């Protein structure tokens, strides 16, 4: 058994940002990050990669390069938790003991939940911006499609960046519009959920964007199977009487966002809630049953929208609360559910959806955040990636402090 003061599971957006943030507050902390991957990704860029607007190589750095100094990197995957003993086990056989544990392991993309999908991803016009190796193929498909049918899918939420499935549609359609071939391409959006977006205030403008590209929106329509060679996809929906209807669609291009679930090692372990997410208090991010455990980012149960922008705020709250706990003081900060989804509705047009728990609007800029603006596009393309690598992952967070901090 090896021992560390603070153990973080996952070296993604949340894990790295939190370690950096804690070390800025207290440089002598003994922190270990358990992370099996050699690569760290800035996933929000993949939407732009799929539109030929961002180099995929700039969305990835080595894990070594982003690991804050002096964090100890345990290069393995966690397999199980024993919170009563404050230990966890890793795939490499190591048992690690902690004073405090933060789980920031992200979520699982279920590519194989859709029969026929895995065999055809990356060929036959079937693609997804949800993987670094496939996002460049989205751009190839967009350029190769000059007529026919283009289908875009969204699974049931929660998913990471719930706006990303429709961002892929808007940016593809904007390219076809620019080339003067939009009229030759029939576009459909198939969303397993019942609304275009979780926050109602943004829906009218999003519907208007769909209409401007003549895209047909199918709500409650779930992708259930793909045959890439035959270029066919099958969707299921329920009619008014609850009977399942299955429809077959031919396509020239298919952009798929896979179903997303908690990781199995979390879901089947003692830290999970009934749905399989790391159970946390929505305000403090502390586990309700194990006081020395916290959840951060996509893997945890708080009902915020799962984005890196949300993590930017959660990190400050968690770092402050964790250090207070270590000092035997009351936890000073509460998370309001802030999240942001920059919805690229066209080239140089972006709706910056910022909101908290229960869909409360939390705009940083302007009185009405719902219309598309050009400034948001430049922020998404140039400013946000820079902020991510140079501020968020370095624990420089003056920009991330909640507006009304320290609810005691």
Q: Which is nearer to ligand FAD, 12 or 337 (CB)?
A: 12
Position 14 contacts ligand FAD (CB under 6 A): yes
Position 262 contacts ligand FAD (CB under 6 A): no
Q: Which is nearer to ligand FAD, 150 or 300 (CB)?
A: 300
Position 258 contacts ligand FAD (CB under 6 A): no
Position 305 contacts ligand FAD (CB under 6 A): no
In angstroms, the first-to-last Cα distance of the chain is 37
Stretch 62-91 residues interacting with ligand FAD (CB under 6 A): 77-78
Position 174 contacts ligand FAD (CB under 6 A): no
Position 103 contacts ligand FAD (CB under 6 A): no
For residue 199, count other CB atoms closer than 10 A to its CB. 20
Only one of the segments 37-45, 188-196, 240-248, 279-287 lies at the binding site for ligand FAD (rule: CB under 6 A); that segment is 37-45
**Whole-angstrom Cα distance, residue 97 to residue 100?**
9
Position 269 contacts ligand FAD (CB under 6 A): no
Locate 265 and state its tokens: 């090692």
Residue for token pair 């009619």? 239
The answer to whether the beta carbons of residues 327 and 30 sit under 8 Å apart is no
H helices within 79-199, ranges in order?
117-120, 135-144, 164-178
Position 265 contacts ligand FAD (CB under 6 A): yes
Q: Which is nearer to ligand FAD, 298 or 320 (CB)?
A: 298
For residue 52, count other CB atoms closer than 10 A to its CB. 15
Q: Which is nearer to ligand FAD, 267 or 396 (CB)?
A: 267
Closest CA to 22 of 408, 406, 397: 397
Position 158 contacts ligand FAD (CB under 6 A): no
Position 130 contacts ligand FAD (CB under 6 A): yes
For residue 374, count other CB atoms closer than 10 A to its CB. 12
Cβ of residue 376: shortest distance to ligand FAD, in angstroms?
Answer: 11
Locate 60 and state its tokens: 């990835």
Position 37 contacts ligand FAD (CB under 6 A): yes
Catalytic residue positions, numbered: 161, 341
Residue nearest to ligand FAD (CB): 12
Q: Spell out where 165-315 has E strands.
A: 185-191, 215-219, 222-227, 232-238, 244-250, 253-255, 260-261, 293-295
Position 31 contacts ligand FAD (CB under 6 A): no
Locate 102 and state its tokens: 């933060």
Pairing assessment for the beta strands 339-346 and 148-154 based on DSSP bridges: unpaired
Out of 161, 185, 271, 319, which residue is the one contacting ligand FAD (CB under 6 A)?
A: 161
The answer to whether the beta carbons of residues 44 and 384 sit under 8 Å apart is yes
The answer to whether the beta carbons of residues 167 and 51 sit under 8 Å apart is no
Instruction: Tell me the backbone φ, ψ of residue 7, rounded to 5 degrees.
Output: -115, 130
With CB under 6 A, what is the number of residues at the site for ligand FAD?
Answer: 36
Only one of the segments 190-198, 236-244, 294-302, 356-364 lies at the binding site for ligand FAD (rule: CB under 6 A); that segment is 294-302
Position 272 contacts ligand FAD (CB under 6 A): no
Binding site for ligand FAD (CB under 6 A): 9-15, 34-37, 43-44, 46-47, 77-78, 104-106, 129-130, 160-161, 164, 263, 265, 297-299, 306-309, 311, 342
């Amino acid at each position: 058994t090896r021992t560390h003061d603070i153990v973080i599971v996952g070296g993604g957006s949340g894990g790295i940002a939190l370690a950096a943030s804690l070390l800025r507050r207290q440089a002598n902390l003994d922190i270990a990050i358990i992370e099996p991957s050699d690569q760290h990704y800035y996933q929000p860029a993949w939407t732009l990669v799929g539109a030929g607007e961002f180099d995929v190589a700039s969305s990835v750095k080595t894990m070594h390069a982003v690991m804050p100094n002096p964090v100890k990197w345990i290069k393995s995957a966690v397999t199980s938790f024993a919170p009563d003993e404050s230990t966890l086990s890793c795939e490499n056989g190591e048992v690690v003991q902690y004073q405090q544990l933060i789980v920031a392991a992200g979520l699982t993309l279920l590519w194989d939940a859709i029969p026929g999908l895995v065999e055809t991803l990356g060929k036959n016009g079937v693609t997804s911006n949800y993987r670094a190796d496939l996002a460049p193929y989205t751009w190839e498909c967009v350029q190769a499609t000059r007529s026919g049918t283009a289908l875009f899918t969204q699974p049931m939420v929660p998913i990471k960046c719930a706006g990303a499935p429709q961002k892929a549609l808007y940016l593809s359609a904007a390219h076809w519009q620019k080339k003067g071939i939009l009229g030759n391409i029939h576009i459909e959006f198939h969303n397993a959920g019942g609304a275009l977006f979780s926050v109602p205030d943004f829906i009218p403008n999003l519907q208007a964007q769909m209409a401007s590209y003549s895209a047909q929106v199918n709500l409650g329509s779930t992708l259930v199977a793909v045959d890439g060679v035959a270029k066919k996809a099958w969707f299921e929906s329920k009619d008014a009487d609850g009977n399942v209807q299955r429809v077959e669609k031919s396509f020239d291009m298919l952009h798929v966002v896979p179903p997303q679930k908690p990781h199995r090692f979390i879901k089947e372990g003692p830290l999970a809630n009934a749905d399989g997410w790391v159970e946390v208090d929505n305000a403090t991010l502390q586990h309700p049953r194990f006081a020395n455990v916290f959840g951060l980012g996509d893997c945890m149960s708080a009902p915020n929208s799962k984005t890196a922008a949300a993590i930017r705020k959660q990190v400050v709250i968690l770092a402050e609360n964790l250090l207070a706990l270590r000092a035997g003081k009351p936890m000073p900060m509460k998370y309001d559910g802030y999240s942001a989804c920059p919805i690229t509705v066209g080239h140089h047009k972006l709706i910056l959806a910022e909101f908290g728990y229960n869909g409360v609007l939390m705009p940083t800029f302007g009185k009405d955040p719902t219309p598309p603006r050009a400034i948001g596009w430049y922020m998404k393309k140039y400013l946000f990636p820079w902020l991510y690598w140079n501020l968020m992952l370095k624990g420089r967070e003056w920009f991330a402090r909640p507006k009304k901090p320290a609810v005691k």
